[in-house]
Amino acid sequence: MCSKISKVAIYGRVIHEEFYPYFKQMLRDLNERGVCLTCYKPFYDFLREKCGISDVFQAFYEEDVDRDTDVLFSVGGDGTFLDSAMRVKNHGVPVLGINSGRLGFLANIAQEEIPQAIHWLCAGDFDVEQRALVKFEMKDNPFAEFNYALNEISVLKTERSSLLKVHAYIGEEYLTTYWADGVIVATPTGSTAYSLSCGGPIVAFGCDNLIITPVSPHNLNMRPLILPGNVQIRLKVESRSGDFMLSADSRMQRMSDNHELFISSGDFKMNVVKMPDHSYYDTLRNKLNWGEDKRNKKDKS
Spatial CA neighbour of 146 closest among 137, 155, 154: 137
192 appears as a binding residue in the annotation:
yes
180 appears as a binding residue in the annotation:
no
162 appears as a binding residue in the annotation:
no
Q: Which of 45, 64, 66, 78 is catalytic?
A: 78
**What size, in residues, is the chain?**
301
Reported in sequence order, the residue ranges of the chain that DSSP labels E, i.e. its strands, are 7-12, 36-40, 59-61, 71-76, 95-99, 127-137, 148-149, 152-156, 164-170, 173-180, 182-186, 209-215, 225-228, 233-238, 243-248, 251-256, 260-274
- Full DSSP string of 107-129: S-B-GGGHHHHHHHHHHT--EEE
Asked if 182 and 254 touch (Cβ cutoff 8 Å), the reply is no
Q: What does the alpha-carbon distance between residue 185 and residue 194 come to, in Å, rounded to a whole number? A: 10
- Measured between alpha carbons, how far is residue 23 from residues 16, 18, 30, 276 in Å? 10, 10, 11, 22
197 appears as a binding residue in the annotation:
yes
92 appears as a binding residue in the annotation:
no
79 appears as a binding residue in the annotation:
yes
176 appears as a binding residue in the annotation:
no
Q: Which residues pair with 131 in a beta bridge?
A: 270
Q: What does the alpha-carbon distance between residue 180 and residue 185 come to, in Å, rounded to a whole number? A: 14
152 appears as a binding residue in the annotation:
yes
User: What is the number of other CB atoms lying within 10 angstroms of the CB of residue 70?
Assistant: 19
187 appears as a binding residue in the annotation:
no
* Angle of CA points 150, 180, 284, to nearest 5°: 40
Q: Is 78 annotated in the active site? A: yes
Give the catalytic positions in this structure: 78
Could you list the residues known to form a binding site, using ranges.
78-79, 151-152, 181, 192-197
Could you list the residues known to form a binding site for NAD(+), using ranges.
78-79, 151-152, 181, 192-197
